[in-house]
């Protein structure tokens, strides 16, 4: 195995550093891709895994102004290496988050809800009553999209793979605020027309799968609509009929949260506004953590294996 648990010295605290005790850190698909070497971010080895999580500040260097002991922090950018009990990090690598939100919400805040927030906000100007269609609707981003959209009165059509416990999954997504849940097979059925009797066709499609289901999803977009691809779980290309471009002028865009953070490194207002909105939603109970399985760090191997099984409806969270 590429992984082992190792004891390291905690480095000395520099003037601009923050000593953090990690509380909880999830295992995300991108973390697995990073380990497999199929992700554009590669940390110099040996490296600590994990790009997301929440920690508590224990101590700060002399020149650290924005953080104090007791504050909660999350990574400001990818590649922090969160699968550890303690760490010393430069202040600019951390973002303060309120400590009055549930620990699992804070631990899963910096990747999936931020991605969901940006893809809903940055590509089409959606108004209450508009609709969005997305695949892998039970993923971490998918669950966040359902809830953030619901809070703005935007309807969601949610595509999931058929599976043995489908009714249970449909019920769970409806409870989060999904308007419609359909399987990939249903995208091709005439019954899809019934959905559009009560809601408008979507102007925005969100894709993190690729392959056939993505092509099928495109059929239901309004003319001049946009599809944003932020993942490729099927490891298959996005195939688009030429007619979709010529006769419906559909737009195909891409999104990567890591890039957005780089582009907005000096635009703290945009970052703060997004975090504030998400934390408000969490406080109001309108945005919850995805279904989680909490695993002590010692059992990290089992957690990594579980996170790679098909049809996982629960995110593995390492408790540190």
pLDDT digits (tens, 9 = 90+) for 236-291: 999 999 999 999 999 999 999 999 999 998 998 999 999 999 999 999 999 999 98
> What CATH number has the domain bearing residue 122?
3.40.50.720
Say whether both 128 and 187 belong to one domain.
Answer: yes
Give residue-wise pLDDT tens across range 77-135. Answer: 887 899 999 999 999 999 999 999 999 999 999 999 999 999 999 999 999 999 999 99
243 within some domain:
yes
Confidence of residue 5 (pLDDT cuts 50, 70, 90): confident
Q: What does the pLDDT read at residue 220?
A: 97
Answer for the pair 21, 85: CB distance below 8 angstroms, yes or no. yes
Say whether both 152 and 247 belong to one domain.
Answer: yes
CA distance 246 to 211: 21
279 within some domain:
no
* Complete edge-to-edge strand list for the sheet that includes strand 226-229: 180-183, 155-160, 131-134, 204-207, 226-229, 251-254
The enclosing H or E element of 22 equals strand 17-26
175 within some domain:
yes
Mean pLDDT for all residues in the chain:
93
Q: What does the pLDDT read at residue 44?
A: 78
Residue 313, pLDDT > 80, answer: no
Rounded mean pLDDT, 25-54: 85
Give residue-wise pLDDT tens across range 205-250. Answer: 999 999 998 999 999 999 999 999 999 988 899 999 999 999 999 9
Say whether both 68 and 166 belong to one domain.
Answer: no
Which of 159, 247, 234, 155 is CA-nearest to residue 201?
Answer: 155
CA distance 320 to 316: 13
Confidence of residue 22 (pLDDT cuts 50, 70, 90): very high
262 within some domain:
no
Show which of 241, 257, 273 is a domain's final residue.
257
Rounded mean pLDDT, 28-33: 85
198 within some domain:
yes
Say whether both 231 and 135 belong to one domain.
Answer: yes
Q: What does the pLDDT read at residue 182?
A: 97
Terminal-residue alpha carbon distance, the chain:
21
**How many domains does the chain contain in total?**
2
276 within some domain:
no
Say whether both 296 and 223 belong to one domain.
Answer: no
Say whether both 143 and 225 belong to one domain.
Answer: yes
Residue 43, pLDDT > 80, answer: no
CA distance 175 to 165: 16
Say whether both 125 and 203 belong to one domain.
Answer: yes
Q: What does the pLDDT read at residue 256?
A: 95
Say whether both 232 and 119 belong to one domain.
Answer: yes
Which positions are catalytic?
A: 39
CA distance 25 to 70: 18
Say whether both 145 and 193 belong to one domain.
Answer: yes
Say whether both 31 and 136 belong to one domain.
Answer: no
- Name the percent of the chain lying above pLDDT 90: 80
pTM of the model: 0.93
Show which of 237, 257, 277 is a domain's final residue.
257
Say whether both 119 and 249 belong to one domain.
Answer: yes
Q: What does the pLDDT read at residue 1?
A: 60
Q: What does the pLDDT read at residue 19?
A: 97
Answer for the pair 53, 315: CB distance below 8 angstroms, yes or no. no
Q: What does the pLDDT read at residue 38?
A: 78
Domain that holds residue 205: 112-257
Q: What does the pLDDT read at residue 100?
A: 95
> What CATH number has the domain bearing residue 56?
3.90.180.10
Show which of 234, 257, 280 is a domain's final residue.
257
Q: What does the pLDDT read at residue 46?
A: 81
Say whether both 101 and 176 belong to one domain.
Answer: no
Strands of 114-236, DSSP E: 131-134, 155-160, 180-183, 204-207, 226-229
Q: What does the pLDDT read at residue 174?
A: 98
306 within some domain:
yes
CA distance 194 to 238: 26
CA distance 243 to 270: 37
Q: What does the pLDDT read at residue 175?
A: 97
132 within some domain:
yes
Q: Is the dihedral of CA 99, 68, 79, 7 positive or negative?
A: negative
CA distance 227 to 74: 30
Q: Give the three-state DSSP class for 175.
A: helix
């Amino acid at each position: 195995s590429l992984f082992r648990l190792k004891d390291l010295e905690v480095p000395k605290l520099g003037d601009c550093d923050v000593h953090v005790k990690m509380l909880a850190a999830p295992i995300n698909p991108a973390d697995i891709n990073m380990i497999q070497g199929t992700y554009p971010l590669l940390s110099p080895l040996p490296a600590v895994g994990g790009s997301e999580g929440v920690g508590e500040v224990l101590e700060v260097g002399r020149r650290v102004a924005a953080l104090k002991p007791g504050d909660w922090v999350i990574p400001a950018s990818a590649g922090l290496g969160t699968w550890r009990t303690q760490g010393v990090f430069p202040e600019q690598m951390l973002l303060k988050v309120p400590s009055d939100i549930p620990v699992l919400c804070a631990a899963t805040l910096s990747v999936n809800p931020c991605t969901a927030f940006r893809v809903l906000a940055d590509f089409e100007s959606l108004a209450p009553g508009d609709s969005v269609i997305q695949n892998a609707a039970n993923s971490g981003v998918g669950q966040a999209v359902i809830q953030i959209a619901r809070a703005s009165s935007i309807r969601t059509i949610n595509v999931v793979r058929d599976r043995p416990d489908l009714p249970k999954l449909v019920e769970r997504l409806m409870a989060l605020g999904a308007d419609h849940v359909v399987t990939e097979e249903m995208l091709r059925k005439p019954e899809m027309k019934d959905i559009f009797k009560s809601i408008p066709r979507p102007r925005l499609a969100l894709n993190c799968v690729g392959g056939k289901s993505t092509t099928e999803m495109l059929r239901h977009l309004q003319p001049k609509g946009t599809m944003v691809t932020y993942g490729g779980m099927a490891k298959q290309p996005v195939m688009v009929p030429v007619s979709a471009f010529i006769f419906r002028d559909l737009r195909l865009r891409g999104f990567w949260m890591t890039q957005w953070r780089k582009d907005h490194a000096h635009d703290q207002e945009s970052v703060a506004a997004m975090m504030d909105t998400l934390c408000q939603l969490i406080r109001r109970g309108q945005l919850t953590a995805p279904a989680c399985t909490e695993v002590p760090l010692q059992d990290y191997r089992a957690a990594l294996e579980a996170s790679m099984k098909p049809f996982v409806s629960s995110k593995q969270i390492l408790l540190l």
